[in-house]
A and B are shown apart, each in its own frame.
Chain A
Amino acid sequence: MPKQTFTVALAGNPNSGKTTIFNNLTGTRQKVGNWPGVTVEKKQGHVKQNGYDITLVDLPGTYSLTAYSIEEIVARDFILDEKPDVVVVIIDASNLERNLYLATQIRELDTKVIFALNMVDVAQENKIKIDKKKLSELLDVPVVPMVGTRNEGTDLLLNTIISVADPTQRITHQSRRVKYGHEIEKAISMLETFIRKNSKDKIPYNPRWTAVKLLEDDKVVKERVLNGTGAHGTAILDEAFKGRRRIFDFFNDEPEIVMTDQRYGFIAGIIREVQKTSSENRVDISRNIDKILTNRILGIPIFICLMWGMFQTTFTLGAYPMEWLDSGVGWVGRTASRLLPPGIFQDLVVDGIISGVGGVIVFLPNIMILFFFIALFEDTGYMARAAFLMDKVMHLIGLHGKSFIPMLMGFGCNVPAIMATRTLESKNDRILTILINPLMSCSARLPVYILLAGTFFAANAGNVIFSMYLLGIILAIAIGRLFRTIFFKGEAAPFVMELPPYRVPTFKNLMLHMWDRSKIFLRKMGGIILVGSVIVWFLSSFPQNIQHSTPQNRPAEYSAEMTRDAATIAEVKEAWGVERMENSYIGRLGKFIAPVFAPIGIDWRGSVAILTGLVAKELVISTMGVLYAAGDEENESEALQSALRKSGMTSAAALSFMVFVLIYIPCFATIATIRRETNSWKWTFFSITYSTILAWIVAFIIYQGGRVLL
């Protein structure tokens, strides 16, 4: 009875159409997560064919399998350690030579390989003829021609996978290895023999491959050899070093460079035999599109328009469903309060869980629209152009061109913005972008500015608000440069970025792309937000039995007695609200930490507002409404304004408050996102700490300076 279930890994260059083929194979039956320990996206899916149950794993797209980036290490480790039954290498037929580099590296790994020759239609248009049979013969690998965008070849690929995965089939391509030059081969076989003798079978990899990698000074393999074989490992590494030294002396260059060169030499030989390019001036539509989209004069204006369009659509079009969701959440809340008996449990469900989680769920439309655009830009190939256009600007902060879009999105909401950093390949670039992203003033902070600037700087409100945004940008640049030099020393990742041909995206891919990411938002945010909201709700509603200064009766009874005097009722309610807040744990906490905020001109009420603002910035205003006792339901904001003026808050203090709100930790959702995207509590806590300290310092300077000047 043959094996009925097996694992297949999909490998390939970025832009080789790997994701499309993966989607074709698995449809919606896929699971998106992260590879253990790293933040590289891992996609997994299932297919049932002819009674076989196939698990497909989409490896990260890479150009090679050296150990320079996490993606490469992840892909290589999966093949080496998880030993998938078959590895399918997706090869872009219109760019055979470069794609074969990765393919030959995978062939070196001692695993069953199938070449999926994708985009044969594009190759045909470009007058490139590939002799598939010959390619298959030369490398002893089954070659399946495909057109991923038209779902052609999917069945053939599946059937090939099934026949190759059959465990009775031996790996056939052993005999056809990459042949290096004489000197290198000599060094490889010497080291290989040494390894066979000394490893005591403790190195799980093929000795020849291990020898090649050691000669290339591969840090991951070196580490594993050392860990696996102890003292023998040291001897092996010494031997490898000697080999490297010999190669270096002979070629006067680093062995890995020489070997890369020779590997390409091997490929060039294959290309000569299997590929025929008949025409020189082929029509290159992409090139013509780029003549406009990355044009010297038009390029940047077009980019700005597209960004503006994306921004507008996300936050204006998104506002409608957001409103529906908001009222939906409201309705759920009201229904819950009707159904549940009044009491602590009702409060917990309505004020804690529903309003807390609801406050985050309302961002879903924004996020979906935003990710639709990002998917559109990525799938068409425009994302690479955006990075190309903006790289100079971002390089000033020590960032990659691709960081521009997350930074821009930060002005809308930091949550999707931080999630958008997934498009960045370098881990350092990604963490740096995530760390400074909250300095982009998100839309939830705007109401705070509007209120305070309107109250204290009526004539110049616009300028004050604008300068908040500007301050955020300046701080982001300064902090970015600072962090780059402190934490991410060394060079920024080289900007070797392919500008893939423009492609018409398929609707299915766009939807899957968008949905994958939105799902992460929904599922993963849920937990932390839920806990956070419940904590804040608990802190602000306990202890319950507070001694009120006005009559002890419940407000309902009280109002029944004094129905004629509505104003008094309101006053009493208001006073009770203040007292409840003041005596709650969060109020006490606010009072407790008030001394810390005193030097920046924020009193205990401001402190409490800042604490509740952790859940969501929108709560800052509503908390202030309660604390500053601006009761009047009809005209809340005006009432709050006058209440603020009466409270003795100065304009310097207001400015300081705005600055603090601008800089300190955005909200629970952002923290949760940072945690998720950096995959590290260390960076999460660092982000919280640095932003709070920075907020205090800048607010201190503003407040103390303002006291003198204003």
Chain B
Amino acid sequence: MNKIHQQELEQLQALFKEEGIDRAEDRIKILEIFLATEEHITDTDLVKLLRKKGYNFEPGFVKDTLELFTRYGFAQVNKFDGEQPRYEHRHLGHHHDHLICIRCQKIIEFENNQLEALQLQIASQHGFHMLQHKMEIYGLCSDCINTRETLLSLASAKEGEYVQIKEFTGGSGMQNRLATLGLRSGDEVEILTNSGHGPLVLALNCSRLALGRGIAQKIIVLPNGRQKGERPQVRLSQLKEGQKATIVRVTGSGAFRRRLMEMGFLKGTEITVEKYAPLQDPMELIIKGYHVSLRVCEAAQVFVSVGSK
């Protein structure tokens, strides 16, 4: 236990005695454990931690104690991005800020005197008297970047690049909304326009889709060509007459997908391109032993892997 922590324990003992707070002994035990961890801890996590160390306190008491710590200036409460409140040590005369990883929820503390000074300077430029501040930087921690180095946000994809949608970080509401537009995880899109500001224009099968930059930032994509171990997927419309393939997935609007699935266009089903019409447009396919025609543009929404199973 370091020196500051020792000091703080003693201060707390004195304070609690002076204020006549009950169960001071228990609370001091809690502070000991709290100071021993360098985590940003929630009250429920602290209860668990205490239990591990052999102290069985009721959660209400622990929460109450943490609030007391906060009131008397031994702990500090943080609410990151709408999560449960997390408590950390508060050492007088010290201030630090946080880096928060949006993927693994890791919180990194940092201190930067230049930044502190800069804040004061900015405040005074506006004739503003700064009382306190809170600095939270959200992003991906180095571990997360290393493990998923190939992933990037849709907003940073280059024009002309083909990318595959991997993940939506904007919550299921956004995901639902995008799904109704026909954009789902696993879909391949081409970036038609991305000028670095303003909306992006994507080609999704046969339709163009404009997405705001804000939404695009919340969509994680994998640039195609960097994929490993997967069989190449092509659009059904890219096949030649007589070629056989296996359906990988059907994209497009809900009604269209459902119609195709009802007609038997299911994942894993074998399909043969019988012929293209004389004017090149609709194409004739054989699936599940019957013949069906699709417009080329519609067939482009069906992804297949070439060669039968």
Contacts and interface: CB of A to CB of B under 8 A. Distances in A.
A286 B254 CA distance: 33
A194 B277 CA distance: 51
B294 A392 contact: no
Interface string A425-441: 00000000000000000
Interface in B201-223: none
A388 B284 contact: yes
A281 to B, nearest CB: 13
Interface string B242-269: 0000000000011111111111101100
Contacts of A126: 289
B277 A388 contact: yes
B128 interface: no
Nearest to A105: B262
B291 A499 contact: yes
Interface stretch (A197-205, A257-265, A651-659): A257-265
Interface in A386-402: 388-389, 391-393, 395, 401
Interface in B28-64: none
B292 A499 contact: yes
Contacts of B274: 287, 290
A89 to B, nearest CB: 15
Given A388-B277, A388-B282, A101 B288 contact: no
B298 interface: yes
Given A388-B284, A496-B260, A297 B278 contact: yes
A63 B263 contact: yes
Contacts of B292: 496-499
B277 A66 contact: no
A261 B277 contact: no
Given A252-B185, A260-B261, A388 B298 contact: no
Interface residues of A, number: 47
A104 to B, nearest CB: 11
A299 interface: yes
A249 B179 CA distance: 12
A466 interface: no
Contact count band on B: 35 or more
Contacts of A494: 256, 259-260, 294-295, 298
B176 interface: yes
Nearest to B256: A494
Nearest to A246: B172
Contact of B290 (A95, A253, A264): A95
Contacts of B253: 491
Given A388-B293, A392-B279, A395-B281, A495 B264 contact: no
Interface string A63-105: 1101010000000000000000000000000110110010000
A512 interface: no
Nearest to B257: A257
Chain B at the A interface: SS class? mixed
Nearest to B254: A254
Contacts of B277: 294, 299, 388-389, 391-392
Contacts, number: 129
B254 A256 contact: yes
A389 B295 CA distance: 11
A294 B172 contact: no
A261 B278 contact: no
A495 B172 contact: no
B112 interface: no
A94 B284 CA distance: 19
B282 A392 contact: yes
A98 B264 contact: yes
B184 interface: yes
A498 B288 contact: no
A206 B291 CA distance: 36
Contact of A496 (B175, B259, B289): B259
A300 interface: yes
B166 to A, nearest CB: 11
A245 interface: yes
B288 to A, nearest CB: 5
Contacts of B125: none
Nearest to B173: A245
Nearest to A253: B184
Interface string A287-306: 10010001111011000000
A391 B282 contact: yes
Contacts of B284: 290, 294, 388, 499
Contacts of A248: 172, 175-176, 179
Contacts of B294: 494-496
B188 to A, nearest CB: 16
A95 B288 contact: yes
Contacts of B90: none
Contacts of A264: 261, 264, 266
A63 B259 CA distance: 9
A295 B282 CA distance: 13
A391 B281 contact: yes
A257 B290 contact: no
B290 A98 contact: yes
B106 interface: no
A300 B278 CA distance: 7
A395 B258 contact: no
Contact of A68 (B185, B258, B276, B281): B258
Contact of A495 (B255, B261, B276, B295): B295
B146 interface: no
Nearest to A381: B291
B281 A98 contact: no
Contacts of B260: 494, 496
B281 A261 contact: no
Contact of A260 (B179, B185, B258): B258
Nearest to A296: B278
A331 B133 CA distance: 104
Contacts of A245: 172, 176
21 contacts: A97-B264, A101-B262, A248-B176, A254-B179, A254-B254, A257-B254, A257-B258, A264-B264, A290-B275, A300-B278, A388-B293, A389-B277, A391-B281, A393-B279, A491-B256, A494-B259, A494-B260, A496-B294, A498-B292, A499-B292, A499-B293
Nearest 8 interchain pairs by C-beta: A392-B281, A499-B291, A392-B279, A64-B262, A260-B261, A495-B295, A299-B278, A391-B282
Interface of A: 63-64, 66, 68, 94-95, 97-98, 101, 126, 245, 248-249, 252-254, 256-257, 260-261, 264, 286-287, 290, 294-297, 299-300, 384, 388-389, 391-393, 395, 401, 491, 494-501
Interface of B: 172, 175-176, 179, 184-185, 253-264, 266-267, 274-282, 284, 288-295, 298
Given A294-B278, A384-B293, A498-B263, 7 more contacts: A68-B259, A290-B291, A296-B278, A494-B295, A495-B293, A496-B294, A497-B282
